């Protein structure tokens, strides 16, 4: 039946897309998040439908939550993390946690 074939094609396409987005998330973690966190001694936490940076008691869920050079550094990072990656979900949902110094 044609619908079965099309459904199988759709599933294969989605699987490829998800694998590519997961790979991009790993690349962002390694090449963007880790260096930023190491520079500013931050943690990056992702889960439960959110993502943010933290340092001690301070949390940064957007660049405006920070000030000075940290704010300037966070602006392009949040722009990337907030970009839609799939099904109206941001790329940030595909980036794993990073704990500075751990």
Averaged over successive runs of 10 residues, the pLDDT of the chain (102 residues) comes to: 89 93 96 98 96 96 96 98 90 96 78
Structure tokens at 92: 């940030």
Tell me what pLDDT residue 68 has. 96
In this prediction, residue 25 carries a pLDDT of: 96
Q: Which two tokens stand for residue 30?
A: 């390694």
Report the C-alpha gap between 102 and 18 in whole angstroms. 28
pLDDT at 88: 83
CA-wise closest residue to 91 among 22, 12, 19, 14: 22
* pTM score, whole prediction: 0.89
Three-state secondary structure along the chain?
A: CHHHHHHHHHHHHHHHHHHHHHHHHHHHHHHHHHHHHHHHCCEEEEECCEEEEEECCEEECCHHHCCHHHHHHHHHHHHHHCCEEECCEEHHHHCCCEECCC
Q: Are the CB atoms for 58 and 41 separated by under 8 Å?
A: no
pLDDT of 89 reads: 92
- pLDDT at residue 1, rounded to an integer: 67
**39 backbone dihedrals φ, ψ, rounded to 5°:** -65, -45
């Amino acid at each position: 039946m044609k619908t079965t074939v099309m459904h199988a094609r759709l599933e294969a396409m989605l699987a490829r897309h998800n694998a590519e987005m997961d790979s991009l998330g790993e690349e962002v973690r390694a090449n963007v998040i880790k260096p930023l966190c190491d520079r500013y001694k931050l943690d990056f936490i992702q889960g439960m439908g959110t993502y943010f940076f933290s340092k001690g008691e301070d949390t940064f869920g957007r660049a405006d939550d920070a000030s000075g050079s940290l704010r300037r550094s966070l602006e392009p990072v949040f722009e990337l993390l907030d970009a839609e990656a799939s099904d109206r979900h941001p790329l940030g949902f595909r980036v794993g946690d990073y704990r500075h110094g751990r």
